Amino acid sequence: MSLVSDVAEIVGMRHASDDPAVLETHSRDHSFEQPRCPTCVASAESTEQIQAVVRYANERRIPITVRSSRIGFYGAGIPMQGGIVLDLSGMNKILMVDPKDKRVMIEPGVTYTQLQAALNAEGMQVCLPLLPHPMKSALSSSLEREPILIAKPEYTETLLTCGMVLANGDLLRTGSALGWGLTSGIYPEGLYPGAQLYKGAQGTLGIVAWANLKIEWLPRMDKVYFLSFDRIEDIAEPLYRILRREIGREVLVLNAFNLAAILADGGPDDFESLRRSLPAFTLVLCLAGPQRFPEEKIAYEEEVVFEVARALGCEPSDTVAGLDLGPRLIAMLRQAWPTDGEYWKLRYKAGCHEIMFYTTLERVPSFKGIIDGVSARHGYPPEDIGCYVQPLEYGRICHCQFSFSCDDADPDDVEKTKALFLEAGKSVFTAGGFFATPYGPWADMVFSRTAGYTAALKTIKKAFDPNNILNPGRLCF
Amino acid sequence: MPLGDPKHQLILGELVDVLGERYVHDDPAIVECYRREEQSPSFTTPMNPEFVVFPDGPEDIRQIVQLANRYKFPYSVSSTGTLTGYCAALKPYWVWIDPKRMNRLTIDAKNMYAIVEPYVTHAQVSVEARKVGLINGNPNAGAQTSCLANTIALGTQTSSFRTGRAGRNLLGSESVLPNGDILRTGTLATSEGDFSWGEGPGPDLRGFLRGHIGHLGSLGIVTKLAVKLYPWPGPSVLPTEGAAPVKKCVLPDDKVRWYSIRYANPLDGVEALREIGKAEVGTYVGLYSPTFLAEHYPTSRENHWRDWNDGWFHKHFKYVVQVGTVAVASKKQLDYEEKVLTQIAQETGGVFVDHDAHDAWVTRVAARNVVDALSARTQRLPRGLPTKPGGGPVYDSLSDAYRNIPPYDDLSLWIAPLDLCHFAFCSASAESEPGEKSVAHEKRMMQRAMAEGPEAVAKGIAGSFVIGGNVERSAPAYGSNIHRVVAAIKSALDPDNLANPGRMIDMDALARSAQMPREQASPGNDY
């Protein structure tokens, strides 16, 4: 029997394929990662099917790579060593919405689009990263630690508990979902080791079959302010001071390129016009009024914003470049990107490649300098670099992201941009940028410089997946 | 072991070579002090450690661990002396590592974290942080608790409504593993890194440091870590008056305000907590029964029973939702939050406790929510007894917290909502005078739980901690085989089972149950 027919016995004939076209589709994504074809693509429809496929693969030492999103930007779903690609995008049931205890239970294929549509009816939201692709799995995003727009510590760590299929096919329930007894199963910590261990693993420690995520009440009222800056050096202090007072809900900084890409809905001309008119950097600060006396909360927060701004000589405005963007922008930020529009990251060119890392706010300008320097050496136009700074937890640290666009159909452009991308990433890392979720080329770079951590990870990996069947070749495994 | 035992002398000599005579003790009068097992009932029977040593940093500890591997002696590490039952000696040649000299503290005010060594207490962190406009999550465990240990083991906080479970506050960390390797996590993992962030790279080894509890030193010794700090508007020094047990503290009304809202039953109180979470007001939030409050209030045993018998607590505080609001944004925030709380009290049937009773409580006890420096806990004279076989508190949703309140009156009840009510902690214990009877009761309850099997254990997550704490017992009770994975990690890092053996996972018991030598008990492909 062939691999595909064996797998078909588990998932059904319609859900297993070795059609070259299907394999090719699953061999690549939007990243620079080298395409690699799997031997077989299988779509699971239940936890039991995942377990059966994993057991089968483990017995035969066949690699398994999981895909939950129908889109990928970082290469994590490319099967480095072939084998089976287990497509979970069809497992897309919202198993439970529980407003009372502020959680939702979902399968891995549930997209942000689908989830938020269900939550809108309850007046709630899932905490979103910056305008995720409509086909992005909400669960994958949470596992991959995509930074959320809300800078409050209580909103972080959105993944509560999950059911994870281990390499031998056993189902491990994490946190208080670990077994019988308690009914909600949402407290993140259960037995040793803690559930945090499984985040950022890119499917190398287990395959998550379902999860409970935090959800939040939507505010009843919002007021969006913009602070404009010509220089990135000037953004840290206002952020430190405003966030130290625990002001604001969605808080982020975008440069003109990214903000124009998000807002331009009238084609290339609109994008160019916006990019020219927008400030170099815009701090977006949403003051949100919760369920009770929303105006009064916004009012006292507003006073603090103006007090800080006065002290620093900057001017909050409810418009940016004369445009009244607040209501439109905040509505956009609380949804995934619309399904009927071109994705904002791909509006300028067909490809977008991001360097993402953590640093402290005061160090952001030095990294901007590094990116500018490398870009200049490679002849990449500085105005085409996307910059996004996401303060986390009242600004104790930030997620910093620089992006480069390229035309994926043009081999020269791909080659040039890839060279720039790799050098820029290495330069950022060397200067102390922290790649917490090291995708693709960053894995070797990071793990070759973290010897103690890497040795410990390998010990853990061996315990969880002694035959190294789960996404082999990723991270340091 | 006799002091003249050759192996004892060999180990002693080597330890002295590493640390110097001053920092190595085998005097029976000294090691006897490290035998006690307080506040941590278990089935283990502690003995005197054979040595007590005082390292000064990770390099000293690394050398001790290397010696342990060379001469095959067991070792454990304590912190500031709370819950020492989890590191008490269980085998001959045991070396107890007391990190008294490792008491350094650094604060990064700009990026809001403190770097602590094991002997730094929460009180120290709190005092230093407040000087720079910050504060730490405050444990309900006493000011003397090690900030490091409390963050990687247990660590429910009076501020958990905002600061969450303690493990969420872990940033970069440094450990010495049982194989002598140094493990640095988060941003510290790279050689140029600092302590500013805890995740990654790749899988998040904060999960390696702790689950609900942590590995109790059985997979390494944490020598340094960074914990998150949070904004604090002042005062930079707590305005205290008097000395314990009558120490008082009144925080300025433009910075911190306290509210006590009384409910006829705990269900209404839980609904109020839910609304408070939804409104996102308050910093220190909890639901308490009179018994719990009474444990923290008295100045003496006599006063405790006098107030109790007078019905003072029942009259004023049954059941009470207490909220501390903090003016992080401005004084207007306090006014706003007061208005919201008033509305919530009205809607949920709550009544603000009479001024006199409320003020008496605030003056003497409320500030312990900010920093447990008023020694209120040391005044708690009665001993809490488990009210159900599972023993420990329940961690899950707020709905579960309510469902798990046993149907008895006069319980010492504490429901702490975490992360704006995303989940909750519920502790419900009965009260008794300390003594042999109470200890015997606890042991009976634990034995009952073990006898009654998985469901009794599963009623409380923390039950796995109290009941011997070992994952090879609790995982099967919950229907999980994760102990097999843990055993594989333990075998790989500590093949001779020397790091706090018997704690977190009992490799000998696992081997016995598998009827095979311990080294063959690691799971390989069959866990």
Which residues of chain A have a CB within 8 Å of the CB of B214?
A: 192
pLDDT digits (tens, 9 = 90+) for B441-453: 666 665 665 565 5
**What is the DSSP pairing of strand A124-125 with strand A216-217?**
antiparallel
Pick B112's closest partner by Cβ from A299, A396, A443: A396
| Closest chain A CA to residue B283 | A154
Mean pLDDT estimate for chain B: 85
Using CA atoms, how far apart are residues A151 and B63, in angstroms rounded to an integer? 42
pLDDT in tens, A291-302: 999 999 999 999
Question: Could B489 and A101 be called an inter-chain contact, meaning their C-beta atoms sit closer than 8 Å?
Answer: no
Paired sense of beta strands A351-359 and A281-289, if any: unpaired
Beta bridge partners of residue A323, listed in sequence order: A320
Mean pLDDT in residue range B171-182: 96
d(CA A134, CA A345): 12
Q: Which of B55, B56, B105 is nearest to B75 (CA)?
A: B55
**By CA distance, what is A468's nearest residue in B?**
B525
Does B352 contact chain A (CB < 8 Å)? Answer: no
Q: What are phi and psi of A61, to 5 degrees?
A: 60, 40
* B185 at A interface, C-beta within 8 A: yes
**Tokens 């103006």 correspond to what residue?**
A306
* Angstrom distance (rounded) from CA A184 to CA A103: 10
- Among A263-267, B167-171, B357-361, B380-384, the range of highest mean pLDDT: B167-171
pLDDT band at B42 (very low <50, low <70, confident <90, very high): low
CA distance A24 to B443: 63
Model pLDDT, residue B309: 83
B346 has a chain A CB within 8 A of its CB: no
Q: Return the bridge partners of B135, or none.
A: B230
Looking at residue A34, the DSSP 8-state letter turns out to be P
In chain A, what residues touch B495 (CB-CB under 8 Å)?
Answer: none
Q: Nearest CA to CA, how far is B287 from chain A (Å)?
A: 17
Q: How far apart are CA B393 and CA A356, in angstroms?
A: 40
The structure tokens 């010696």 sit at B67
pLDDT at A379: 97
What digits encode the pLDDT tens for the residues B368-414? 788 765 555 545 555 555 555 445 567 888 988 887 776 666 777 88
Q: With bands split at pLDDT 50, 70 and 90, how would you rate the model's confidence at B282?
A: very high
pLDDT at residue B388, rounded to an integer: 54
pLDDT tens digits along B301-321: 778 778 878 888 888 888 899
Contacts across the A-B interface (CB distance below 8 Å): 316
Mean pLDDT of B197-222: 91
Of A160, A191, A246, the CB nearest to B212: A191
Beta carbons of A197 and B204 less than 8 Å apart? yes
Terminal C-alpha separation, chain B: 38
- How far is the C-alpha of B251 from the C-alpha of B237, rounded, in Å? 10
| Residue of chain B minimizing CA distance to A305 | B329
Predicted pLDDT of residue B442: 60
Tokens 């077989």 — which residue? A40
Please give the structure tokens belonging to residue A270.
């609109």
Displacement of CA A269 from its chain's centroid (Å): 29
Cβ of B204 and A464 within 8 Å? Answer: no
Q: Worst-scoring range by mean pLDDT, B351-355, B384-388, B472-476?
A: B384-388
Structure tokens at A180: 């019988």
Chain B residues in contact with A295 by the CB 8 A cut-off are: none
Q: Say yes or no: ipTM exceeds 0.90.
A: yes
Binned at pLDDT 50, 70 and 90, residue A175 comes out as confident
State how far the alpha carbon of B224 is from the alpha carbons of A313, A378, B88, B116, B459, in Å: 40, 42, 22, 6, 34
CA distances from B304 to A266, B150, B241, B307 (A): 74, 29, 21, 5
> Which of B136, B173, B213, B422 has the most A C-beta neighbours within 10 Å, making it the best mutation to test the interface with A?
B422
The distance of B243 to chain A (nearest Cα, Å) reads 33
Question: What token pair was written down for A184?
Answer: 């909600």
> Which chain B positions have a beta carbon within 8 Å of A455's beta carbon?
181
Q: How far is it, in rounded angstroms, from Cα B80 to Cα B121?
A: 7
Cβ atoms < 10 Å from Cβ of B415: 28
Nearest to A434 among B193, B278, B492 (CB): B193
Identity of the residue in B197, B211, B332 whose CB atom sits nearest the CB atom of A190? B211
What pLDDT does B526 receive?
A: 33
Of A200, A396, A434, the CB nearest to B228: A396
End-to-end CA distance of chain A: 30
Residue B436 has pLDDT above 70, yes or no: no
Amino acid at A194: G
A203 close to A255: Cβ distance less than 8 angstroms: no
Q: For B285, phi and psi rounded to 5 degrees? A: -135, 130
- As a whole number, mean pLDDT of residues B196-205 equals 94
- Residue in chain B closest to A363 (alpha carbons) equals B111
Closest to A189 (Cβ–Cβ): which among B165, B340, B481?
B165
Kindly state the average pLDDT of the residues B69-82.
94
Alpha-carbon gap: B442 to the closest alpha carbon of chain A (Å): 21
Residue A173, pLDDT > 60, answer yes
For B142, the 3-state DSSP assignment is coil
The answer to whether the CB atoms of B204 and A186 lie below 8 A apart is no
With contact defined as beta carbons under 8 Å apart, do A64 and A470 qualify? yes
State both tokens at A130.
């910056």
pLDDT at B517: 47
Distance, in Å, from the CA atom of A442 to the CA atom of A474, rounded to the nearest integer, reads 10
Closest CA to A337 of A263, A428, A409: A263
Taking residue A233's Cβ as centre, other Cβ atoms within 10 Å add up to: 15
Which tens digits make up the pLDDT trace of A448-459? Answer: 999 999 999 999
Q: What is the pLDDT of residue B2?
A: 60
Q: How confident is the model at residue A142 (pLDDT cuts 50, 70, 90)?
A: very high
- Backbone phi, psi, residue B405, to 5°: -75, 120
Whole-number pLDDT of residue B445: 61
Strand pairing report for A40-43 and B248-249: unpaired
Arithmetic mean of pLDDT, B244-272: 91
Q: Is the pLDDT of residue B234 over 60?
A: yes
Q: What are phi and psi of A211, to 5 degrees?
A: -155, 155
Instruction: Please identify which residue in the block is written with the tokens 């941009």.
Output: A417
* CA A314 remoteness from chain centre: 31
pLDDT band at residue B213 using 50, 70 and 90 as cut-offs:
confident
- The pTM of this model reads 0.94
Write out the H or E segment, with its range, that includes residue B483. helix B482-493
pLDDT band at B191 (very low <50, low <70, confident <90, very high): confident
Of the candidates B164, B203, B394, the beta carbon closest to that of A205 is on B203
Minimum CA–CA partner of B192 in chain A = A432
| Each residue's pLDDT tens digit, B514-526 | 764 444 443 333 3
* pLDDT interval class at A159 (50, 70, 90): very high
How far apart are alpha carbons A143 and A210 in whole angstroms?
A: 12
What integer is the mean pLDDT of A223-238?
97
What does the pLDDT look like over A347-405, one tens digit per residue?
Answer: 999 999 999 999 999 999 999 999 999 999 999 999 999 999 999 999 999 999 999 99
